[in-house]
Amino acid sequence: MRRSTYLSIIGVTAVLGGVAAPALAADCATAQFSEAVLARFPNIRAVCTDVIEKDGQQYAVVKGDLVRTGNNAVYMKFNMADGTKSDTRKIETRPEFRVKVDGKPVSVRNLAVGQQLTAYVKVSDPVIALEPAEPTESLASYPIQDAAPAMAASNVEMPHTASALPGVASLGALLLAFAGMLTFLRVRRQS
């Protein structure tokens, strides 16, 4: 085979590879998020760090800080591409579901605020799932909820931080001083 034939084969292969590549793998900029996903999560491209394929579906990878834990849910703020944080997002889950924190499996009930978690947003449907501890585990996806900070109702009472002990000690000292004065008066009267 002549050198020109070799070059032709290499060229055709390169062109075909270049055409086929975008169809096989997408990135955050090119992922075809559905209208429903964009409606529920308008800043998904800004928080997306990667696009992966799992169980034949594309998922956008989002990372962020855990800001609150709740009953069967966690609340996260995702890292934006510009270094800021997203609005707070609630992600439903189960207390016994295990996620990966610093490379170690941790059940949701043992999570603490300040930890960094990873979640997956399905490109074609408005659902989100926490990254499971083991890559082989299937995702537990739940509908993406509207951004909303979790705030508890305020029915708090101001704590009683006044101790009775200084009063007790003062009264005791006064009684002892009074007793001493009585003794002094009695002794003086007798002498």
Partner 1 sequence: MRWSEVAAYVGGALLCSLFVLAQADSALGSTNAIEDFAASLTPPDQSLWAAGRVRDYQVAQQTKMQAVAVLTVPSLKLQVPVFGSDDELSLNRGAGLVAGMGTPDGGGNVGIAGHRDGFFRVLKDIKVGDLIEVRTRLKLHRYRVSSIDIVDAADKRLLTDTELPSVTLVTCYPFYYLGNAPQRYIVAATYEWPSDT
Q: By CB under 8 A, name the binding residues for partner 1.
A: 65-70, 75, 77, 79, 88, 110-116, 149-163, 165-179, 182-183, 186
Of the two residues 71 and 136, which places its CB atom closer to partner 1 in the complex?
71
Which of 8, 110 has the CB closer to partner 1?
Answer: 110
Give least dist CB 6 to partner 1, A.
Answer: 51
Cα–Cα distance, 172 to 167 (Å, whole number): 8
Pick the closer one to partner 1 by CB: 9 or 150.
Answer: 150
Contact 120, 76 (CB under 8 A): no
99 neighbors 117 (Cβ within 8 angstroms) = yes
Smallest distance, partner 1 to C-beta of residue 57, A:
28
